[in-house]
Structures are given as structure tokens and as C-alpha cells.
Amino acid sequence: MRADEPFLVRHADLIFALKTFAASILALVIALAMDLPRPYWAMATVYITSQPLAGATSSKAFFRVMGTLVGAVMTVALVPNLIDAPELLCLAIALWVGLCLYLSLLDGTPRSYVFMLAGYTVALIGFPSVSEPGAIFDTAVARLEEISLGIICASLVSTIVFPRSVAPAVANRIDNWLA
């Protein structure tokens, strides 16, 4: 780091950590105020989805929400229909996760998050809901709300509070490479 760099550039990592912490607390407070059943999902989502560059967080946000929605719908379709055949349910979930992972690896764009989230959302909601299949819809809706809340908070804070553009990071890499 050079002494002539602006404060925001010199302390980009610290600012990113504080922004992520602020977004996670915002998500947690909102989730608690909304009386969501698992507010820690919203908080954890902020940490999972936050990126140092504002564009990276925002560009993936829509796809992450869509993937969670697809996964929640698939869970509501699978679990009640296959609850009486646990082996078949496990096989269906495993095949769904495998298919989604395969599709996400084929797609190198941020759109791949739709497939990735659709896959693991089914596993995260479906397996714990086997003991209470009657509550699967409520669990899926709660997960969708909490994940969406975390993604929205991460995107808003990343975009509004000292947004970090990719341009200085690329310029710094080029300067280092040329030196």
C-alpha cells in the first residue's frame, strides 16, 4: 500500500468487513422484527453472498433469489408426494441436487447461481422437513423470505455505503503486473 492512496483504498478490507457486519445486523434486526422462524438464515446469507466489489454482489442477487425460489417450489413438490417412500425421496433429492450442480457448472455466468441455489435449497429444506412434512410449505416460504432478506440487505449496503468499483482493482492489478 502506498501512503498517497486514498483512505478508502488503503482500508478497503476493513470497510468491506464493517459493511458486511452492518448488512448482517440489519438483516437480523429486520428478520427478528418480522418474527421469522430462523432469523440467523438472513444474517448468514449476508456473509455468504457479500463480495468486496459492489457489482459482484448486486449482479448475483437476482439469480440467488430466483434459485432459492425454484428450490423452495421443488421442495414443496417433492417432500409431500414422496414422504411415504423415504428412499425414493432421498434419491429424488440427490438427483435434483446433482442435476442442478451439473447445470451450474456448465454455465459460467452469474446465472449459474439459479441452478446452484435451486439444488442445495431442496436439500437444506427437504431433509429436515421429513419429520414434519405438513409444515413444508411454511418452512419453504420462511427460507425464501429469510434468504431474500439477507440478499437484499447485502446488495443495498454494498451498493449504497462506499461502493467499491472494479476499475481501481483492475488498475492496481495492471500496475503490479507491469511493475
- What are the sequence ranges of the domains in the chain? 7-160
pLDDT for position 58: 75
Tens digit of pLDDT for each residue in 131-146?
888 889 999 999 999 9
Is pLDDT above 70 for 4?
no
Is pLDDT above 60 for 1?
no
Grid cell listed for 116: 446452484
The 8-class DSSP code of residue 176 comes to: H
pLDDT for position 62: 86
CB 53 within 8 A of CB 117: no
Rounded to an integer, what distance in angstroms lies between the CA atom of residue 91 and that of residue 137?
A: 21
Rounded to an integer, what distance in angstroms lies between the CA atom of residue 39 and that of residue 29?
A: 8
Segment 40-62 mean pLDDT: 84
Segment 66-92 mean pLDDT: 93
Is pLDDT above 70 for 76?
yes
User: What's the mean per-residue pLDDT of the chain?
Assistant: 87
Rounded to an integer, what distance in angstroms lies between the CA atom of residue 69 and that of residue 77?
A: 12
Picking from 47, 80, 53, the residue whose alpha carbon sits closest to that of residue 151 is: 47
